Chains A and B, each alone.
Chain A
Amino acid sequence: MGEKSKGFFVTGDPLIYGADVAIIVTLLGIIIFLTVFKKWGWLWKEWFTTVDHKRIGIMYLVSSLLMLFRGGVDALLMRLQLAAPNTHFLTSQHYNEIFTTHGTIMILFMAMPFMFALFNIVIPLQIGARDVAYPFLNALSFWLFFFGALLFNLSFVVGGSPDAGWLSYPPLSEIAGSPGPGQNFYIWGIQISGIGSLATGINFLVTILKMRAPGMKLMKMPLFSWSVLSSCITIIFAFPVLTVTLALLFVDRYLGAHIFTADSGNPMMYVNLIWMWGHPEVYIVVLPAFGIYSEIVSTFSKKKIFGYKSMVFSMMIISILGYFTWVHHFFTMGAGADVNTFFAITTMAIGIPTGVKIFNWLFTMFRGRITISQPMLWTIAFIPCFVVGGATGVMLAIAPADYQYHNSYFLIAHFHQTLIGGVVFGYLAGLYYWWPKMFGFKLNERLGKWAFWTWNIGFYVCFMPQYALGFMGMTRRVYTYGWDMGWAPFNMVSTVGAFLMGIGFIFQAWQILYSIKNGEKDVTGDPWNGRTLEWSIPSPAPLYNFAVIPEVKHDDDWWETKKAMADSQYKKEPPQYEPIHMPKQSGIPFIMSACWFVVGFGFTFGWSYVGLAGLLGVGLCLLARSFQQETDYYIPVDEVRKTEASLGRVG
């Protein structure tokens, strides 16, 4: 919080007053809308208490797009501030807050929920399951994420935003360096949503291991499912570390302990621990993107993926090896030549399986009949972008050279290139690809192409100059600079690029709104001539997904089934419906997560009684769930038949 002491409400900056007004107007608008149209009951019954993975996925998606907007605005404010030398558009304090929230939001409250949205929407459909292994826990995960994100974003108007960087290194993030509540908002917001992420990791791992349709052996599983499996393995091993690290930082701040303090503790131990989570985290978010590219390349090249087995092995290797590279984030700590050498080698080794994947995608496209639709566009744009990002990554991995690059704009350009070029492009490709499956219509092509080109051109214009700026000595987190540094032209260009990307986002928002009204309807359930099981059912999928669980015989089973169906000899057997076992809705996930929010809010302001009351609420919710006996029900055959008939699926 710096020197300024702040009241409960954040005051002092006209930008913040403007945002306050916007927030209040939006909230009032939503409340009035819900009341006038009598939608409160609908919201509670259909959304807040749902355990349906498809709806949970949509809620994740909406939240992550909102967070992309906020993180994006943060980025544009930073670029405005840096566009020219000696600018005083933002104060240094405000700038610190913005780069902190930008990083935290983009990774934890944008990339993670975007990824979970795709997990939720696609995985059960792709493996031929009716839900995830633990539907109740799945809803709980979402609401924990939601309330965690809410708590974090609340710091904007109440108490003050965190300002110690997206990983909040001590001693700055300790009570002496950051006495205000901002840092506590950071800890509790991430902690609450992080528990949800860990639960999602366990949930989808068990779902994929145990709930695949009969006949779908692991080595017949679509590559997106494999990528989610490998990502979940990494989540399970990495997220507990985050939980401990943040908890210990809070113990330091709240109980006056000396774990990471500079006087009796060891601040570098925090850095060591947080990167034990932080590095695997980037593989957690990029692996599913690899899965998405694999699905898209294969579908739009009308070919089986090249080197399926090597794809699987390289993902599994990345998932495990990704755990053994964390020290490359702090080579400059000076742990010694042996330590740095080990971690430099493991880091470079990760490039090998990644390279294998790049070649497999290229070979899949080679001599394929390629259709350039929106998902494919983003995939093709990803490949060169990620190759450059990977190459600069190997440059950074050379430990002695890293002493030059460390914390410079070279690093900033590198990780934006892998995270935007790899992760965001991947998720957007996945969004375009599976959008018809979620909502039953396609997104408009023309507006999509405008969005694609502004995003892509904007990306290179924004980040290529930053590599140069890094070599010219510009370090990250400086809020302004003088004319004498010679950084002005490149910074101006970079800002123009950032705004181009912002325009790309506006095109996408427009595209979505436009397509809701005028989008091409998907009546077949298979708009792209797909290869995997999710395309064999109607769009959007009915509550129970599959009226009859499919028997899987081939890899790319739906493709093979379609081939067989085209044969005149093919005889379709009348479906044998059975009652379908489904989980019941529950309000407990929402209430329990709201209690967690109270816990976080109470401890953030040091109101221990409020925090303890929240914990009591969490405990009561757990007990209430434990004592519940009837947690599921059956959909009778008649209802299944009726639903299928209304979807035109009964032959």
Chain B
Amino acid sequence: MEENHGSTKLYVMGFVLSLILTVIPLWLVVQHVFAKGMLTIVITAIAVGQLLIQLFCFMHIKDGEKPRYHAIALVLGAVIVFTIVAGSIWIMTFNSQVH
């Protein structure tokens, strides 16, 4: 097995980083460090960081034989996920005033 399944070090590093990235947004929110809009952007960015940590440290997205179809699928999936969420919000805001 030449494939790299990660080392204990990588896992521990990922775990510690994910803990830190959990505490920071919590602190930011509880302390109201920024205004609401800014806060939303910052904690969303941190969540994306968490996602990358899980993908690279735990899920070994870089492993596997080439071509890496699973990575292509994930990237396309991310585009679709963005389309669904952002698209729905954009399209449906027209009647958000009703309620």
Contact = CB atoms under 8 A, between A and B. Distances in A.
Interface string B83-99: 11001101110110001
Given A209-B69, A237-B77, A276 B95 contact: no
Contact of B94 (A209, A323, A324, A335): A335
Interface residues of A, number: 21
A401 interface: no
B92 A237 contact: no
A412 interface: no
B94 A237 contact: no
Interface in A79-123: none
Nearest to A276: B84
Interface stretch (A60-68, A182-190, A266-274, A531-539): A266-274
Contacts of A241: 84
A209 B64 CA distance: 14
Contacts of A268: 92, 95
Contact of A339 (B69, B77, B83, B90): B90
A270 to B, nearest CB: 11
Chain B CB within 10 Å — which of A237, A272, A324, A336 has the most?
A237
B83 A327 contact: no
A301 to B, nearest CB: 33
Contacts of B94: 333-336, 339
Interface string A226-254: 00000001001100010000000000000
Contacts of B87: 276
B76 interface: yes
A336 B99 CA distance: 18
A323 B88 contact: no
B20 interface: no
A318 B91 CA distance: 22
B80 A327 contact: no
A324 B91 contact: no
Contacts of B69: 209
Contact of A237 (B76, B91, B95): B76
B45 to A, nearest CB: 25
Interface in A190-248: 209, 233, 236-237, 241
Contacts of A320: 76
A276 B91 CA distance: 12
A323 B76 CA distance: 12
Nearest to A326: B87
A269 B96 CA distance: 11
A289 to B, nearest CB: 23
Nearest to A237: B80
Interface in B42-88: 69, 73, 76-77, 80, 83-84, 87-88
Contact of B92 (A233, A236, A266): A266
Contacts of B91: 272, 327, 335, 339
B88 A269 contact: yes
Contacts of B77: 237
B92 to A, nearest CB: 6
A272 B92 contact: yes
A241 B81 CA distance: 11
A214 to B, nearest CB: 15
A444 B89 CA distance: 55
A324 B88 CA distance: 12
A414 B80 CA distance: 28
A256 B59 CA distance: 38
B44 to A, nearest CB: 22
Interface string A328-365: 00000111100100000000000000000000000000
A324 B69 CA distance: 23
A241 B77 CA distance: 13
B90 A272 contact: no
Given A209-B69, A237-B77, A324 B83 contact: yes
B71 to A, nearest CB: 13
Contact of B95 (A236, A266, A324, A327): A266
Contacts of B90: 339
A209 B67 CA distance: 10
A488 B74 CA distance: 54
Nearest to A280: B80
Contacts of B88: 269, 272-273
A238 to B, nearest CB: 9
Contacts of B92: 266, 268-269, 272, 335
A320 B69 CA distance: 16
Contacts of A269: 88, 92
15 contacts: A233-B76, A236-B73, A237-B80, A268-B92, A268-B95, A269-B88, A269-B92, A272-B91, A273-B88, A276-B87, A320-B76, A323-B80, A335-B94, A336-B94, A339-B90
Given A320-B76, A339-B94, 14 more contacts: A209-B69, A233-B76, A237-B76, A237-B80, A268-B95, A269-B88, A269-B92, A272-B88, A323-B83, A324-B83, A333-B94, A335-B91, A336-B94, A339-B91
Interface of A: 209, 233, 236-237, 241, 264, 266, 268-269, 272-273, 276, 320, 323-324, 327, 333-336, 339
Leading 8 A-B pairs by shortest Cβ distance: A335-B94, A237-B80, A335-B91, A209-B69, A339-B91, A336-B94, A272-B91, A272-B88
